[in-house]
Copies of this chain bind each other. A is one copy, B any other.
């Protein structure tokens, strides 16, 4: 047991196989032609010594890390981990490794996070954190790090973006409900849940005003338990509601509270989830929700980013349109 086994370097391989380190380098990179004989010899020495090139030194020499950074607010949400899975899948196939950075909704945090990404020399960054603004992201342009922004606008030569089409569909759902529905609509406002929610909230307000309808905005914690308890109270008084929730777990809190208060869905209480996941159809009653395949978003993001890195991304913008799946939590 060598417990202080030092890393084998290219130099030792060279010495052991009686060639120069340049030749070893050629062998491991399959670059210029090396005589078959020496190649075999070198390879066998590499195997025998268990030599693995240092990614660090390679990166320093080539100015490429084959490492991409992923910035997310938190790894804790289902739709984010779906996306993460798509990202890691493609990265693995394309020979990139993934570095994870979370901002956790804190502004001070964000700048520290960005600094670290710069330091780490990633070849490119996928940003899925709409609390980061253009100014924040500009730092990447300053260090010429390509950025692919998901659900977040960004300008610059070396950047691309993936947009989510929620607003248009959302507006249609609301308008449709104004025509056919029989309840006031309550929008659950979550503090610090990102700009996407705020944008949708604005669409909600605008659409309501245009249709000359009553509407309610209600503050709500981003926690299943708290929301459940809040609605247990609310349902003591209000017995008819159409509630718009940001995510499935919040929607489930409302639905469970309704059921536990003896209300029926969708007759008394209707709930729409904005960001649907697989849990939309697992939870009963099944939740009507808007869906975007986040795993596919993750995959696409990597494809685009790699093209960006290799300077051949021509379509800088990509849009994922959401799909509305009506289930049992709403009438329409």
A residues with CB within 8 A of B: 1, 3-7, 50, 52-57, 59-60, 65, 67, 74-78, 80-82, 84-85, 88-89, 92, 97-102, 104, 109, 113, 115-116, 118-121, 141-144, 156-158, 224, 249, 252-253, 256, 259, 278-279, 281-284, 295
Q: Which of these, B57, B142, B256, contacts A284 with CB under 8 Å?
A: B256
How far is A118 from B56 in the complex, measured between Cα atoms in Å?
Answer: 11
The 10 closest A-B pairs by CB, nearest first: A81-B81, A55-B119, A75-B84, A76-B85, A75-B85, A3-B157, A98-B100, A88-B102, A252-B282, A56-B121
Q: Which of these, B1, B59, B99, B115, contacts A56 with CB under 8 Å?
A: B59
A-B contact pairs, 29 of them (CB 8 A): A3-B141, A3-B144, A3-B157, A3-B158, A50-B142, A52-B115, A52-B119, A54-B121, A55-B120, A56-B121, A67-B120, A75-B81, A75-B85, A76-B81, A76-B82, A76-B295, A78-B78, A84-B100, A88-B100, A92-B113, A97-B99, A97-B120, A98-B99, A98-B101, A99-B99, A249-B282, A253-B282, A259-B284, A284-B284
How far is A57 from B98 in the complex, measured between Cα atoms in Å?
Answer: 19
How far is A160 from B3 in the complex, measured between Cα atoms in Å?
Answer: 15
The interface residues of chain B lying within 8 Å CB-to-CB of A101 are 88, 92, 97-98
Known contacts A5-B143, A99-B98, A282-B283; is-contact A56 B52 (Cβ 8 Å): no
Known contacts A99-B100, A158-B3; is-contact A57 B60 (Cβ 8 Å): yes
- Could you list 6 further interchain pairs (A-B, Cβ under 8 angstroms) beyond the known A56-B65, A97-B99, A97-B116? A75-B85, A81-B84, A88-B101, A100-B100, A252-B282, A256-B284
How far is A99 from B224 in the complex, measured between Cα atoms in Å?
Answer: 30
The interface residues of chain B lying within 8 Å CB-to-CB of A142 are 5, 50
- Least distance between A212 CB and chain B CB atoms (Å): 37
